[in-house]
Structures are given as C-alpha cells and as structure tokens.
Amino acid sequence: MKRIRWTAGLFVLVLSAVNVFGENVPDGVPADENSPETQAFSQDVRLCEHFSPDFQIGTAVSPFQLRVPELREHILRHFNSLTAENCMKPEAIYRNDAFCDFRQADALVEFAQENGLAVRGHTLVWHSQTPRGFFRDENGEKLSKDALYARLERYMTAVLTHFRGKVYCWDVVNEAISDYGPEIYRTHSPWYEICGKEFIAEAFRMAHRIDPDIRLYYNDYGLISPEKRRKTVEMLRGLLADGVPIHGVGIQAHWNMHYFSPEELQKSIDAFAELGLDVQITELDMSVHGRRPPHQAEEEKEPQKDGSTEEEEALQAERYAQAFEVLRRNADRISSVTFWGISDGHTWLSYRGKGKDFPLLFDAELQPKEAFRKITSPELLSVEMPDGVPRINEDGT
Ligand code: GLA
C-alpha cells in the first residue's frame, strides 16, 4: 500500500515538474488514459494545488452542503476559494432597512475562515433575486432614485462592514448588459427603470467609499459572445474614463459544450485585460444537454436524458481542456477560476424543469470525470485547438 502511494506520489512529482518547467509533451502523443500511472495521477491530484501557480480554484456552495462531511472533505481537497451560490444575494440577506439576516452567509464565511479559503462576495446589485420590496416604499410605491440610493447605501454599509476583512472581493453589479438589439443596458430591470444606467457607477463608487480595501468586479454571462463583449467593453471603458473604481470583470462562463469557442474566450480575456482589469472566471460549468446548434435541433425533441453518454463526456472533456488551455496560457491576467457547483449531484442546470445536466468535473458520487482527468493531465498541452489559437508553451517557456 505504502509502495503504491509512494509510486503515485513520485509520479505526481514528476508531472508537476513537467508543468513547472514547461516541458512540452509532443503533439499527437496523448497520455494513456488507462495506464495505472494516469489513474493514480487522477486520484491524487488536488485541483487547487495543481493550478496554484496559475489561479485560485473556487466552487459555489450552499450552507447545507457544508453540513455533509463528504462534501466538506471534497471541497477542502480541491478548492481554495468559495462563492455563495445564493446566501449572499439580497434576497437571502435583506429583510428591511434596519435588519439584515447574515446567518446563512456567516456559516459559509466561518467555514472558509477556519480552513483558510478565500471568499468571493456575490452579489450586491442585481435585477434578480432581490426582494421586490427593496424597490418600494412602505406603501408599495416605487422608490425615487434618491430613496433607492439611500437604501442601497444602508444595505451595502451593513453587508460590507459585516464581512470586512473576510470577503476579499465583491461582484458589485451583476448582469447589467442587454442581450438584445443595439441597446447596451438591460432596461427591463428595476435598477435601470428607477436610476437609468448611472446606478452602475454609483454602486461601484459607494462600495469603494464604504470599504476601499475590497476588490470590485462587474460580473455577467455571455461575455465571450462578440456582441455582448463589445457592449461590455464600451460600458467598462466609459466607467474607467470617469474614474469609477472597478478592478475586474467576472466572466460567468455558463458554457455549453455544443457552442463553446476557445477563440472567443481568448478575445474576451484580451479585451478586458487591455482595459487594465483583472479577469476572473466566476461561474464555470459546461452544459451537456443545453441548447443544440441548429443542425442538431432534431435531438432537442428527444425526451430529456437522465445521464450522459461516453461520447458526450468525451466532447465535454475536450471543451474543458480547450478552455483550460486558454486559461492557463493567460494565467498572468486571471486571478481566479470558480466552478458553479461542486459536482453533478447539485447543479442549477438540473433544476430548470428540462431534465438533468452534467456540467461539472465530478459526478454525483464525487468521482472525477474524464474532463477532470483531461484538464489536469499533460495531455492538456496537446489538446486539439482551432487554427489561430496559440498553444501553451509553444515558445518552450
Ligand atoms: C447567474 C447568477 C448566479 C446564479 C446563476 C444560475 O449566473 O449570477 O448567482 O444564480 O445565474 O444559478
């Protein structure tokens, strides 16, 4: 037993050295997936350790998961950063102007503190998962802009003061950019309806005034699609030109294995980093059963499946490998990569009435999937990439 562990340990050490010194695995020589060394390697790898020279590896959690010993152990093994899946949203915290309920969030933050994990704050200003009453007065009338800002200031002061020194960054504004047409901003939002676009700048300024030490992020989905990237860059450039304190962009990364494009990911990282902003991947998952490209649309009519096939797992693994190839190559511009969930056993994608999905690196039994093996193996350096995307270590560094 000891000998097996020792051999596996040595193998991990050799592989880490290969990564550290950036030696290339020749193209077209993928590691043998079934060799005992590869198996042992997968079992021994800790995600956060494996990627520690590059970026933090986080997961989204809910407090009920922290009461399950296997999940606690799994989190501590693989992740060094936590995001609250729901319990830090206004819906979970705001009760009224005089009372915020921090009980759930405190359980998460205490767990993180006890175990030396970082905590990302998610989220302060969002059109969704915010009580309707937040935008109304005691008579149910819509608040004026000034009254809404006054409420936001009280709320932010309570939250940021409560978590001061324990939460290193916040998604200050979530999802303010429009998906449709030429308009830049999401107009169908109580924030926009009451304040216009200026609520975005106001929220960042407020957060910075209250706690100048925390890192402030703009967070959104769809940020690797060309149109939404263009709109987001335009908004961010304007905010920065006006001196608004904003430190980074959260690319949510709810991706779909039928559509994911490593080239577009690279373009978005370039665009945000060129503005001088830190980039974080904040809600990563890779849907297997999401919407299909038009030529596969027929398949959408099939009844929802309860599992994923080997071919689907292989395609998902390929997409994850492409994504991580890009992320590692840009490690100097990316400080954190967070998965939106721990395992396929609990993912928001399975709770949308469209059947189960399997978007994460671990299956419901917490066993590593093919995608896990692929992103942590030397094969990552020889993953098939579309033309025009430069490779990791191609210059031998
Ligand atoms: C958005 C939010 C997250 C979460 C996911 C889906 O991306 O930012 O907080 O609600 O949707 O669960």
pLDDT tens for residues 190-230?
999 999 999 999 999 999 999 999 999 999 999 999 999 99
Q: Determine whether the shortest distance from the Cβ of 11 to ligand 1 is under 6 A.
A: no
Residue located nearest, by CA, to atom 12 of ligand 1: 348
The candidate with the shortest Cα–Cα distance to 268, out of 328, 329, 224, 324, is 224
Q: What is the pTM (predicted TM-score) of this model?
A: 0.87
**The dihedral sign for the CA sequence 42, 46, 48, 51:** negative
The answer to whether the CB of 123 falls within 8 A of the CB of 170 is yes
Q: From the CA of 126, give the closest atom in ligand 1.
A: 8
Q: Determine whether the shortest distance from the Cβ of 272 to ligand 1 is under 6 A.
A: no
Q: CA 129, CA 120: separation in Å to the nearest integer?
A: 18
The answer to whether the CB of 121 falls within 8 A of the CB of 85 is no
Q: How far is the CA of 122 from the centre of ligand 1 (A)?
A: 9
**Given this model, what pLDDT does residue 13 score?**
34
Q: Determine whether the shortest distance from the Cβ of 221 to ligand 1 is under 6 A.
A: yes
Q: How far is the CA of 274 from the centre of ligand 1 (A)?
A: 26
Residue located nearest, by CA, to atom 8 of ligand 1: 174
Q: Determine whether the shortest distance from the Cβ of 218 to ligand 1 is under 6 A.
A: no
The candidate with the shortest Cα–Cα distance to 191, out of 143, 242, 138, is 143
What are the structure tokens assigned to 90, written together?
A: 């206004």
What are the structure tokens assigned to 330, written together?
A: 């840009």
CA angle at 252 for the pair 207 and 81, rounded to the nearest 5°: 70
The CA distances from residue 139 to 132, 135, 142, 392, in Å, are 13, 11, 9, 59
Ligand 1 pocket test: pick from 255, 284, 348, 349 the residue with the most ligand atoms within 8 Å of its Cβ.
348
Show the low-confidence residues of the chain (pLDDT under 50): 1-31, 392-397
Q: CA 105, CA 111: separation in Å to the nearest integer?
A: 10
Q: From the CA of 252, give the closest atom in ligand 1.
A: 7
Q: Tell me how crowded residue 394 is: count the other CB atoms within 10 A of its CB.
A: 10
Q: CA 171, CA 128: separation in Å to the nearest integer?
A: 14
Q: How far is the CA of 18 from the centre of ligand 1 (A)?
A: 37
* β-strand partners of 125: 173
**Given this model, what pLDDT does residue 326 score?**
97
**Given this model, what pLDDT does residue 4 score?**
34
Q: Determine whether the shortest distance from the Cβ of 252 to ligand 1 is under 6 A.
A: yes
33-291+304-382: CATH topology is TIM Barrel (3.20.20)
Would you please indicate which residues are annotated as catalytic (active-site) residues? 175, 283
What are the structure tokens assigned to 156, written together?
A: 């932010």
Question: Would you say how long the chain is, in residues?
Answer: 397
pLDDT in tens, 80-119: 999 999 999 999 999 999 999 999 999 999 999 999 999 9
Residue located nearest, by CA, to atom 6 of ligand 1: 348
**The dihedral sign for the CA sequence 180, 183, 188, 190:** positive
**Given this model, what pLDDT does residue 53 score?**
92
Q: CA 28, CA 263: separation in Å to the nearest integer?
A: 21
